[in-house]
Amino acid sequence: MSVRKMAGAWVPPVALTLFRRWSGRSLRFSGFPADWERATQMSTGYDAVRILEKVAAATRAVNAGEASFERDSMLFDEPQYSFPILAALLRAASLGADPLEVVDFGGSLGSTYRQCKPFLDGVSLRWYVIEQTSFVDKGRDEFATDELKFFGSVSEVPQLGEHAVILAASVLQYLEDPTATMDELSELPARHLIIDRTPLGNQEQHRLCIQYVPAQIYEASYPCWILSKSRFLSRLSATWRLVAEYPCPEGHSSTDEGLPFEFRGLILERTA
């Protein structure tokens, strides 16, 4: 057993969390910005060109078989499947989706598509990524296929069938108005909705803070919402029915000021 594994066997989880925060190896959430503008001022931002190139390089490595998959520009040698997402996609396919259409909002250069693809070989698939202009341009230039397409806005997505799936994975918390974005996505004629890797807390109001990215990924800090779970679900309930909820690998966390929250996933189906 390695020293790292031995330490993990007896060091209390709280101590490990504190160590990872101190060493820059995990996300940190801190601050009480009054609004989005102030949160932006409090953040360092990030070099968008550099991040795009890191993601593109990692995606090329995956396509070349040099790594299993990438997430947030980090390469992984072993597959880490999101079985709740796969279950939701296969459920949608079983209910009559042919082809299975997925609108992947904030889907980078198709990371989740590549993660899920080995389990969807028998499914006719159309995967639409909605991203920032620079990612769309790079995606179209290098990574688009007959199945995987890139678009710059919701309005550009082709007409969808009634069994289409909307996927929002680790993206809503980084938007100025997550609920307005969800309202826009809900206007798409899709029956299924998957919200993945989203920080939800038990507080009454959405909480704005600053997220600090681990140095080994890239140096950056930017605004991030800790969404009120009750308020968020109440807003969704006007259009969507909750089918299932699941924990995400990021697990439990808290802001530096002590607000606890957990990264959760939601699988929903249209009711209206």
Closest to 169 (Cα-Cα) out of 115, 106, 211 = 106
| Torsion sign, CA atoms 74, 177, 237, 255 | positive
pLDDT per residue rounded down to tens, the chain (272 residues) = 433 333 334 444 444 344 344 444 578 999 999 999 999 999 987 667 778 888 888 888 887 777 776 776 677 777 778 999 999 999 999 987 679 999 999 999 999 999 999 899 889 999 999 999 999 999 999 999 999 999 999 999 999 988 899 999 999 999 999 999 999 999 999 999 999 999 999 999 999 999 998 777 677 899 999 999 999 999 999 999 999 999 999 899 999 999 999 999 999 999 96
pLDDT in tens, 177-187: 999 999 999 99
The helix or strand, by DSSP H or E, that contains position 248, with its residue range, turns out to be: strand 240-254
CATH number for region 31-220+227-270: 3.40.50.150
Residues 268 and 84: beta-carbon distance below 8 Å = no
The two tokens of residue 169 are 């994975």
Strands 207-212 and 221-228: antiparallel
pTM of the shown model: 0.87
Domain boundaries, the chain: 31-220+227-270
Neighbours of 111 (CB within 10 A): 21
Closest to 206 (Cα-Cα) out of 174, 237, 184 = 174
Which amino acid is it at 157? V
Distance CA 170, CA 183 (A): 17
pLDDT at 170: 94
End-to-end CA distance of the chain: 54
pLDDT in tens, 37-48: 999 999 987 667
Closest to 108 (Cα-Cα) out of 157, 156, 167 = 167
The number of residues in the chain equals 272
